[in-house]
Amino acid sequence: MGLWKGVRPAAKGWQLHQLDVNNAFLHGDLHEEGSGNSFVALLVYVDDVILASSDRDQIQQIKDHLHSTFQIKDLGNLRFFLGLEVARTQKGIAVNQRKYALDLLKETGFLSSKPVRTPMIQTSKLSQDTGTPLEENSQYRRLIGKLLYMTITRPDICFAIQQLSQFLDKPTTDHLQAAHRILRYVKNSPSKGIFFPANSSLKLRGFADSDWAACIDTRRSVTGFCMFLGEALISWKSKKQGTISRSSSEAEYKAMALAACEIQWLIYLLETLEVKMEGLAVLYSDSKSAIAIAENPVFHERTKHIEIDCHLIREKL
């Protein structure tokens, strides 16, 4: 959603319009492709529709056609969609969840809390055994779910939410306290979000990293990556790896493999949206040993135990 809604409309000067269907429809035929010289992208969620195109006349024709079929309400330029607030200037498009954040702070009683500057304490290492088990875990689960939705525009809390999501089954007082710290961090800047600059290029770059044996309970590593299209951040993830890595090099290599899969998916998506990339996609890593493994086509004793699917990065290279 964020990719075509932000980067290409911002970089290419596209129009963004929002529609609402008066009577939600459950059945119907969706013809995804048409013919003509103009390209129009539609995002449909139940009865909410977003139109994106550089051709204003084409947008109006689609509005007229939809109105004759479904009785739509034209909401004009895109400003608010599923809790996301969209603001556009000559410099680009900004997307945040300010109202959603303030509503969450009010609901949880943290609207007047003392703000903090970081979502987590850097030296904090949470585990399933720290703290006293909560008598009722539904409150913790609801809070983490609502914070998870905020990661759509808040990559700065992505790692912290990933950490706390591991304890949904049996949360403790320490886990709840850590979740409350995230609320206090959000209170510090509820309007923070992501920005798609209007002068951005269309070169795809990815950055991958890992935290070796970060999980105290399982000793599994954590993968982190972020993807940029030009100067715009379009994709990010923090995820615990599925298996234990026997070395930091292996953990870094697995992170590169996951990032390579994300790059491949983004390339397919860009092609579908008729976005022509500038040059080849580039993946960055700060691990010389992991880069050496990726560039070496020979399986040797130090790497043959790594899962076969991780070696897909060699094919991409």
Residues 292 and 241 in one domain: yes
122-126, 174-178, 186-190, 269-273 — which is least confidently predicted?
A: 122-126
Q: Give the pLDDT band of residue 237 (cuts 50, 70, 90).
A: very high
> Contact 149/163 with Cβ under 8 angstroms?
no
Domain range for residue 157?
97-188
Mean pLDDT of 113-139: 90
pLDDT at 298: 62
Pair 201, 162: CB distance under 8 Å: no
Q: Is residue 91 part of a domain?
A: no
Amino acid at 284: Y
Looking at every residue in the chain, the average pLDDT score rounds to: 86
In the chain, which ranges are E strands? Answer: 15-21, 40-45, 48-53, 72-77, 80-81, 84-89, 92-96, 193-197, 204-211, 222-229, 232-240, 282-284
Mean pLDDT score, 270-293:
89
DSSP assignment letter at 57: H
What pLDDT digit, counting tens, does each position of 25-56 carry?
555 565 655 666 778 888 888 888 888 888 88
Domain membership flag for residue 134: yes
Give the domain-ending residue among 55, 82, 109: 82
The letter for the amino acid at 206 is G
> Comparing 76-80, 98-102, 180-184, 271-275, which segment has the lowest mean pLDDT?
271-275
Of 32, 53, 82, the residue that ends a domain is 82
Last residue within a domain, chosen from 163, 188, 213: 188
Domain assignment present for residue 87? The answer is no
Rounded CA separation 5/135 (Å): 43
Instruction: Examine residue 194 and state whether it is found in any structural domain, yes or no.
Output: no
- The answer on 212 and 159 residing in a single domain is no
- Same structural domain, 162 and 56: no
Residue 157's pLDDT is what? 96
Residue 300's CATH number: 3.30.420.10
Kindly report the CA angle at 151 between 147 and 157, in degrees rounded to 5?
A: 80
